[in-house]
Amino acid sequence: MLEAVERQIGHFVADLDDKTTTLLYAKLPAGKRLRAKLILKIAGNSLQAIKVAAIVELIHAASLLHDDVIDDAFTRRNKPSLNAIYGNKTAIMLGDILYSKGFFELNNISAKVAKIVSNAVTQLSLGELADVELSKNFNPNKELYLKMIYQKTASLMEAAAGAGANLVGKDEDAYMRYGRNLGIAFQMIDDILDITQDSATLGKPALHDFKEGKTTLPYIYLYEALDSEDKAKLISLHGKTLKQDEEAWIKSKFQEYNIIQQSYQEAKELVQEAIELMSAKGEESLSAIAMAMIERDF
Ligand code: FPP
Ligand code: MG
């Protein structure tokens, strides 16, 4: 049924009646469409559900266009990012076009769904700002990290699940909690993969996040584990282009203190709770989506 969402996004883009936008949109890789999948699994494949899924994917695509400009990222899903090919101005404007079209279409759904989704977009933006601010210094505070990834990533998954539940009169709270846990775990795992996967698989250089100033969960746990001399050394490497021996030092410390397993365990617990929530409702395919998330490559 994801093809129906793809077609609906195509209709929304075609409505804009602008050749440049159509051409640029066609250059974006579709991605996993995880948020659309959640909505259809929860709400079925009515036209309303397909439209909400298409709207949420338009908003998600817009947020990634802006994020790649903010992060100076030249690749997205192993391909050159739109800002790398056409420059920042074009990427920002395409993001604004997709985002505002999504909002326009949201008005045709219902006030409650519009409220759930638009609130998530505010959270996304607050989360992205917090990410930028937190990246200016080494951040040892786990609570700040958790709040930021909830806002930046989990809020839109939470809203996707909540909007889906609202469309068919299911228990919004439980589905939103599922989406929230899934989203936080998803970002934690993304942050772990930045450390464990080689640069070819990842499509970006190894330990990229830390060089960019992002103190993700494994770095916070590593900081907690190190003695004061090594704490100072870790802080001194934050936000820098790392030499080979510095990169090797960080990786050896991750191993010594079992940090990747500790971080992965935290993501796993959130996923476990999400699975239990959905199993209790007989939503086996939603449990399976959660399960697949922790079975990704390490
Ligand atoms: C990716 O994080 C970024 C997000 C999930 C959210 C970005 C949100 C905004 C830019 C604000 C919302 C704006 C609009 C127009 C809706 P990341 O950089 O950690 O992940 P990555 O590795 O995928 O780049
Ligand atoms: Mg980014």
CB of 290 within 8 A of CB of 184? no
Please list the residues that pair with 76 across neighbouring strands: 79
Name the pLDDT band for 1 (thresholds 50, 70, 90): confident
- Is residue 71 in contact with ligand 1, taking CB distance under 6 Å? yes
* Average pLDDT of span 92-98: 98
**Is pLDDT at 148 greater than 70 in this prediction?**
yes
CA of 102 to the centre of ligand 2 (A): 21
The torsion angle over the Cα atoms of residues 223, 251, 133 and 269, rounded to 10 degrees, is -70
Ligand nearest to the CA of 72: 2
- Which residues make up the environment of ion ligand 2, defined by Cβ < 5 Å? 67, 71
- State how far the alpha carbon of 25 is from the alpha carbons of 83, 120, 168, in Å: 13, 23, 31
**Is pLDDT at 145 greater than 90 in this prediction?**
yes
Atom nearest to 66 CA in ligand 1: 10
- Is residue 218 in contact with ligand 1, taking CB distance under 6 Å? no
Residue nearest to atom 13 of ligand 1 (CA): 63
pLDDT at 295: 79
CB of 102 within 8 A of CB of 76? no
Distance CA 104, CA 114 (A): 10
Residue nearest to atom 7 of ligand 1 (CA): 63
CB of 91 within 8 A of CB of 30? no
**Is pLDDT at 200 greater than 90 in this prediction?**
no
- Is residue 67 in contact with ligand 1, taking CB distance under 6 Å? yes
Q: What does the block give as tokens for 282?
A: 């007989």
Distance CA 270, CA 110 (A): 31
For 75, the 3-state DSSP assignment is strand
Angle between helices 34-43 and 155-167 (to 10 degrees): 20
Output the pTM of the full model: 0.94
pLDDT at 101: 98
Q: Is there a shared CATH topology between the 1-109 domain and the 111-298 domain?
A: yes
* Domain boundaries of the chain, sorted by first residue: 1-109, 111-298
Q: What does the block give as tokens for 172?
A: 């919004």
Distance CA 74, CA 77 (A): 10
**Is pLDDT at 156 greater than 70 in this prediction?**
yes
pLDDT at 204: 63
Q: What does the block give as tokens for 163?
A: 């909007």
**Is pLDDT at 297 greater than 70 in this prediction?**
no
Fold of the 1-109 domain: Farnesyl Diphosphate Synthase (1.10.600)
Q: Which residue has the tokens 């709770």?
A: 273
For 212-253, the DSSP string reads TT---HHHHHHHHHS-HHHHHHHHHHTTSPPPHHHHHHHHHH
CA of 63 to the centre of ligand 1 (A): 5
Distance CA 185, CA 190 (A): 8
pLDDT at 160: 98
Stretch (H or E) spanning 80: strand 79-80
Distance CA 50, CA 44 (A): 9
pLDDT tens string 45-90: 999 999 999 999 999 999 999 999 999 999 898 899 999 999 999 9
Q: Which residue has the tokens 């929304």?
A: 12
Distance CA 2, CA 19 (A): 25
> Among 295, 223, 241, which Cα is nearest to 264's?
295
pLDDT tens string 208-248: 899 999 999 999 999 999 999 999 999 999 999 999 999 99
Q: Pocket of ligand 1, candidates 63, 69, 74, 106: which has the most ligand atoms within 8 Å of its Cβ, to mutate?
A: 63
Fold of the 111-298 domain: Farnesyl Diphosphate Synthase (1.10.600)
Name the pLDDT band for 109 (thresholds 50, 70, 90): very high
> Among 171, 183, 140, which Cα is nearest to 35's?
183
